[in-house]
């Protein structure tokens, strides 16, 4: 996906047993989609920061969902059972969805875990890529790319840096 492209409708199973689709967030002013997984050390390092962001901007009408798209045969810990366990353990305030056939991740153009995609109220892509500039140490972060993008998007402003390459594990595609 390129900046300005419109989100394609999708529906995926969630860890709570329900199907969640992109229209479920139509009342939200902005929508953040996090492509992540359970096993990647980069993804593990970012979960708490992403949960904090979701909680911080919930009242500002930000919708958030996470999607795991890795090959669950090669990486069974990224399957629904592991996702349910992680969702409960971290008390995620947003749905965690399984993209078993990897179509949503492909339509987003996702390449890494974690990688974020922020859409405005028209569901146009306004930011994609990295969360911040230091995956290893949250106290050493100098650039909060995603948080800045959320602020700008919620204020209806154009984002200064709409694309910052994501750092993380590669998505484990099915062969």
**Model pLDDT for residues 96-137, shown as the tens digit of each residue:** 999 999 999 999 999 999 999 999 999 999 999 999 999 999
Nearest to 114 by CA among 12, 41, 56: 41
Q: What is the pTM of this model?
A: 0.97
Using an 8 Å Cβ cutoff, are 87 and 50 in contact? no
Rounded to the nearest 5 degrees, what angle is found at the Cα of 155, between the Cα atoms of 151 and 159?
Answer: 60
Structure tokens at 99: 């993209």
Phi-psi region of 49 (alpha: psi -120 to 50; beta: other; left: phi over 0): alpha
Give the CA distances from residue 133 to residues 39, 109, 129, 141, 145, in Å, rounded to whole numbers and listed in that order: 21, 21, 11, 6, 8
Q: What is the CATH number of domain 27-170?
A: 3.40.30.10
Residue extents of the structural domains in the chain:
27-170
pLDDT in tens, 44-54: 999 999 999 99
């Amino acid at each position: 996906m390129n900046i300005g492209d419109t989100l394609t409708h999708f529906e995926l199973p969630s860890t709570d047993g329900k199907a969640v689709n992109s229209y479920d967030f139509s009342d939200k002013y902005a929508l953040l989609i996090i492509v992540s997984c359970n096993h990647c050390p980069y993804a593990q390092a970012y979960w708490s920061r992403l949960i904090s962001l979701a909680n911080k901007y919930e009242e500002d009408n930000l919708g958030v969902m996470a999607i795991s798209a890795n090959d669950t045969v090669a990486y069974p810990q990224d399957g629904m059972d592991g996702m349910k366990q992680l969702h409960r353990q971290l008390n995620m305030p947003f749905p965690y969805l399984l993209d078993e056939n990897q179509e949503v991740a492909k339509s987003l153009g996702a390449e890494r875990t974690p990688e974020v995609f922020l859409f405005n109220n028209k569901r146009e892509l306004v930011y994609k890529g990295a969360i911040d500039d230091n995956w290893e140490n949250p106290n050493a972060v100098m650039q909060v790319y995603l948080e800045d993008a959320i602020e700008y998007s919620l204020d209806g402003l154009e984002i200064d840096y709409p694309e910052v390459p994501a750092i993380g594990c590669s998505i484990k595609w099915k062969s």
